[in-house]
């Protein structure tokens, strides 16, 4: 039997589960690196998924606690898409994926892990990144520690911001 090492998972498995909404609480703290927040916009922020579908999995999240897209201003809708575009550009620069999945899961039955706070997923994809592990072993293989990925993405983000 082979062992897959995913050290960040044990923190979640053994750790105390957060009370409240992590998407509301984390931006209020002054610990962006610890909380995996890469970028703060006017009404949204970009955060890495701590339990990613794929290496570099990002999310664009509104500061406003809402489970729906209705009632948003045009500026708020526009910023979500602008930050999604920025996230794609950062991932493209830092990790050179072959493609991306972008999506919003509205409601628990639609797959939303945190259904009470809407968020847009940005999942980088590479040719051949799907394999037998999720199907047979219910396991995803993430090849790089999340802290190393955060540092790589932050450098790319700073370069992109300097250019623009």
Catalytic residue set: 119
Beta-bridge mates of residue 25 = none
Nearest to 46 by CA among 36, 34, 60, 35: 60
Residues paired with 123 in a beta bridge: 101
Given a contact cutoff of 8 angstroms between Cβ atoms, the answer to whether 118 and 24 are in contact is: no
In which element (H, E) is residue 62 found? strand 58-62
Phi, psi of 92 (to 5 degrees): -60, -45
């Amino acid at each position: 039997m082979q062992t897959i090492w995913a050290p960040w998972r044990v923190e979640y498995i053994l750790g105390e589960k957060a009370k409240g909404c992590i998407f509301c609480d984390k931006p209020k703290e002054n610990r962006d690196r610890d909380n995996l927040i890469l970028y703060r916009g006017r009404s949204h922020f970009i955060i890495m998924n701590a339990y990613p579908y794929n290496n570099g999995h990002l999310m664009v999240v509104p500061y406003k606690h809402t489970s729906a897209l209705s009632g948003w201003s045009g500026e708020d809708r526009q910023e979500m898409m602008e930050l999604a575009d920025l996230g794609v550009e950062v991932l493209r620069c830092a990790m050179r994926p072959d493609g991306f999945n972008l999506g919003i899961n509205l409601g628990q039955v639609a797959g939303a892990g945190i259904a009470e706070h809407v968020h847009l997923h940005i999942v980088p994809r590479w040719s051949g990144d799907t394999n037998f592990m999720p199907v047979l072993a219910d396991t995803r293989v993430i090849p790089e520690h999340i802290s190393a990925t955060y540092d790589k993405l932050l450098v790319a983000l700073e370069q992109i911001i300097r250019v623009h």
